[in-house]
Structure 1
């Protein structure tokens, strides 16, 4: 089971920061709270959160500057700006810098949580659309394996199996578990069917010699890249 979603909250008002932190934690988020932009940047590098909630007016480094620095290296992480400002130019500036959403103070926790879930859902869908695997790009949604200008179509089962292998990359994908999930049963005939799909995936990935799908006897498969 995956752990709680990690959120970096940068807020210089101690009372508000603590309220938001505790409210999010009751909803199974893990929150790293920082009171200035400099600490927030170092925490971003150290903890690798899945989403950022940034107050704009902060000491040492404001939210816009912090977002600009993060966007130089990370174009994907969702960013929500918190601000007491209501001027249109500030809203426009926030989106131009790379913000994904903008919440004006005072705000309700329920509204913040709804926006967080919406951004995480959108972010994860985009990640599924373009998964890098060695020299390949795997588009899960379109069921395509792309290498340069060449596109290979995958069947639904091939795409599902490859996606789960990637999720466990360099670790063992449990044979019984994935059979039950994709085939409904881990009986002998389904196991033989999965072996056929593994062989097909190996052929489609063979143009990158650094990618291997190996059989871990009695356990399952391991995608090595």
Structure 2
């Protein structure tokens, strides 16, 4: 598979170097610079798969520069990163044609999700399981709500959720949860199960069509209401 090439522009050199180091370690090819100088020539030579731009680069406006870039390179996805968290800045960024706007500080793992989404959309179909308006990355354990990262699940949280999802709208007994997740007998794991279910419920509280239902003294059921 062709290597993903990321053009990164941020005048915060420490942050830029950190992002570059992490992305490079994960197999991305990164061109990083701390100014917008010569950006057109760099795009022509480097041929990036995606651009990650700071909104304010020194005295330059990254959003205005993005408008020019999109006019000459309409197929280049642009992600914005910024300490400007007001809605006007976000509206300007998305209105200019940017595909997403990250508020600093942000999770670099979340940035990677969006880089992959907009450079390799076919991966999303292969690795994501839908849960109402949520999706679960089966490779990274990331739970997303409308493509926005909610949380990278712990292995236990992931395994419990996956078991419930594989049996959605059906009861998974306490004994099954205990044996398959903890390799122990119930009620030895009762407190652990209750704690994890409580955490999962909080993660899904945005979508009222999703319910982790307690079937008293029996187990739990993941109810997902079908859209009309």
TM-score, reference length from structure 2: 0.51
Distance 1:115 1:102 in 2: 10
* Counterpart residue number, 2:60: 61
- 8 Å Cα contact 1:38-1:61 kept in structure 2: no
- 8 Å Cα contact 1:77-1:123 kept in structure 2: no
* Counterpart residue number, 2:139: none
What secondary structure does 1:18 align onto?
A: helix
Q: Which digits, 9 at most, give the CA deviation of each residue in 1:60-119, with x for residues without a partner?
A: 532112201111112221110000011111111111111001111001111111111111
Distance 1:43 1:59 in 2: 19
* Counterpart residue number, 1:132: none
1:34-183 equivalent positions in 2, closer than 5 A: 34-59=33-58, 61-122=60-121
Distance 1:68 1:5 in 2: 22
Distance 1:77 1:48 in 2: 9
Residues 40 and 124 from structure 1, CA distance in 2 versus in 1: closer, same or farther, beyond 3 angstroms?
Answer: farther
Q: Number of paired residues?
A: 124
Distance 1:76 1:40 in 2: 16
Distance 1:117 1:14 in 2: 24
* Counterpart residue number, 1:185: none
CA displacement at 1:45 relative to structure 2: 2.4
Distance 2:49 2:115 in 1: 10
Distance 1:77 1:123 in 2: 17
Distance 2:11 2:33 in 1: 7
What secondary structure does 2:60 align onto?
A: coil
Distance 1:120 1:9 in 2: 15
Residues 108 and 118 from structure 1, CA distance in 2 versus in 1: closer, same or farther, beyond 3 angstroms?
Answer: same
Distance 1:79 1:36 in 2: 16
- 8 Å Cα contact 2:4-2:119 kept in structure 1: no
Distance 1:97 1:124 in 2: 26
CA displacement at 1:22 relative to structure 2: 0.5
Q: Aligned-residue CA RMSD in angstroms?
A: 2.0
Distance 2:119 2:2 in 1: 15
Distance 1:123 1:81 in 2: 23
Distance 1:116 1:53 in 2: 9
Distance 2:21 2:52 in 1: 14
Residues 100 and 49 from structure 1, CA distance in 2 versus in 1: closer, same or farther, beyond 3 angstroms?
Answer: same
- 8 Å Cα contact 1:78-1:100 kept in structure 2: yes
Gaps of 5+ in 2: 125-228
Residues 60 and 86 from structure 1, CA distance in 2 versus in 1: closer, same or farther, beyond 3 angstroms?
Answer: closer
Gaps of 5+ in 1: 126-225
TM-score, reference length from structure 1: 0.52
Q: Which digits, 9 at most, give the CA deviation of each residue in 1:142-196, with x for residues without a partner?
A: xxxxxxxxxxxxxxxxxxxxxxxxxxxxxxxxxxxxxxxxxxxxxxxxxxxxxxx
